[in-house]
Amino acid sequence: MEEIEEPHGQEQTEKSDDTIIHIGYDPVMQLAIEILPILGNKKKVILKAKGNSIPNAVAVANIITEKMLKDNSKVQKITLDTVAAAGIGDMTSTIEIILNKI
């Protein structure tokens, strides 16, 4: 079996007014605290994750929208996808969560 190494932590990519944050395996509360000031400066933040880091992205989105910025932010859209690599049985799921500041 082939081992796939996924990035730890987060990586930011600027895309017009949107900030794309790639979620890794860091603790979710630490990630949420790091994303909070970014969402304060931007109107929209896009969280992306793949594979086993998908639950971390969902947890970060929930912490931000339900605890930290309750009534001041919302989840605009969630996109799920699965990428099948060449061969049989190699599939990787991805998620994209768009958070908006109200």
CB 41 within 8 A of CB 21: no
In a domain, 1, yes or no: no
Query: CATH no. for residue 82?
Result: 3.30.110.20
pLDDT by 10s per residue, the chain, length 102? 334 344 445 555 544 567 899 999 999 999 999 999 998 888 899 999 999 999 999 999 999 999 998 888 999 999 999 988 777 778 899 999 999 998
In a domain, 83, yes or no: yes
In a domain, 40, yes or no: yes
In a domain, 5, yes or no: no
Sign of CA dihedral 25, 98, 12, 90: positive
In a domain, 3, yes or no: no
**Domain coverage including residue 96:** 10-101
Q: What is the pTM of this model?
A: 0.78
In a domain, 21, yes or no: yes
pLDDT tens digit sequence for 15-31: 456 789 999 999 999 99
Q: Report how many domains make up the chain.
A: 1
Burial of 64 (0-12, 13-18, 19+ CB in 10 A): buried
